[in-house]
Amino acid sequence: MAIDLDANREETIALEDKRFVSVARREPIGVVGAVIPWNFPLLMLAWKVAPALAAGCTIVLKPSELTSLTAVEFAQIVADVGLPPGVFNLVTGYGPDAGQPLVSHPTVEKVAFTGSVKTGSAIMKSAADDVKVVTLELGGKSAMIVFEDVDIVQAVEWIMVGVFFNQGEVCSSTSRVLLHESIAPQVLARLKTEAEKLIVGDPLHRDTKMGPLVSKTQLDRVLGYIEQGKQSGAKLLTGGARKGTQGYFVQPTVFTDVPLDASIWREEIFGPVLSVRTFKTEEEALRIANDTTFGLGGAVLSKDLERARRVANALRAGIIWINCSQPTFCQAPWGGFKRSGIGRELGKWGLANYLETKQITRFDQSEPWGYYIPPANL
């Protein structure tokens, strides 16, 4: 679905007082400061740069210090194709040295950020000083609810996609799975078998299903959460360790019977670690799924589409998948509830982030003015 960039840039508003004509005009917000994470460096760049430029803004981009080369290469392409100087700008470096000066600069009128809750909160506080417009995508701890009528084989495939895709370094990862108790033994048995088949190694090899984590820091973080999971009383179904001694590889890891207060159940891990619990009723599943400070994504697996839609509507999250997990389309809105962020990206919603609305009202000179009396309802 193509977006008409000129459509609705100006919209005439119907007024009761016909002596006046009022127009709502959408204009570029101005200079945009964008800060993106390391897990999808080119994708995150496109999600910020494309709508900003389409809206008519200029942009200054700060990529993660771990994945700056992608943005540097993009900047060279932009220069080669002849984009006017100053329209796209790149600043590399660490957060305190490059990111903070960017988001707090007085000429930056809009900040677009994807990353951690901690950094997003700091950006909100900084933006408040100048009352800047912000959009924030801050990750999540998404739940997948699996009902008793599913096809076991397909369900296990989607469970694995939801948590092991991109080594689990995905903000919307459905890393909490709720299984109906009647099918839990069959699902877990197959999940263990299939997870242990996954080839972890060089991502350039055709058969590899999971590559390394991004850094030693992230490796230590994920292994720390795995150790916390073992200490929490959860049962380790499979994995639970580093793979090999070289590189930042982690085994696909699944915990079952995870306590509701365990850190692996409540906190975003950003690694290939799945937490599983069972449920008896739809109401119980929804209560547990919604008991989180995050609200980015969620998934429902069921052959009963009426029930699936009902549960999808009841989940408190910005992106819900039915009978799948993680498909993403540039035409559909992306963003979350609660601590998962503010605003939406992609499609017409993403374009709107970079536009401001101006009211222009004129008096129709063909009508007599007289004394202006405001409407009684004002």
Cα dist. 314→49, 154, 238, 298 in Å?
33, 24, 32, 11
Q: Measuring CA to CA, which residue among 84, 53, 65 is closest to residue 354?
A: 53
Cα dist. 62→93, 343, 349 in Å?
8, 20, 22
- Residue 228: other Cβ atoms inside 10 A: 15
Query: Which residues fall within 8 angstroms of residue 365, CB to CB, at 6 or more apart?
Result: none
Asked if residue 312 lies in contact with residue 320, where contact means CB atoms within 8 angstroms, the answer is yes
- Of 109, 171, 268, 345, which one is the catalytic site residue? 171
- H/E segment holding residue 237: strand 235-238
- Of 137, 169, 268, 345, which one is the catalytic site residue? 137
Is 57 annotated as catalytic?
A: no
Place of tokens 């919307």: 172
**Helix (H) and strand (E) counts in the chain:** 11, 16
DSSP state letter for 96: I
Three-class secondary structure of residue 29 per DSSP? coil
How far apart CA 14 and CA 113 sit, in angstroms, is 37
Cα 370 off chain centre by: 55
How far apart CA 171 and CA 116 sit, in angstroms, is 9
Amino acid symbol at 245: T
How far apart CA 161 and CA 173 sit, in angstroms, is 9
Q: What is the DSSP string of 331-363?
A: TS-B--SGGGEES-BSHHHHHHTTEEEEEEEEE
Is 283 annotated as catalytic?
A: no
Which residues form the catalytic set?
137, 171
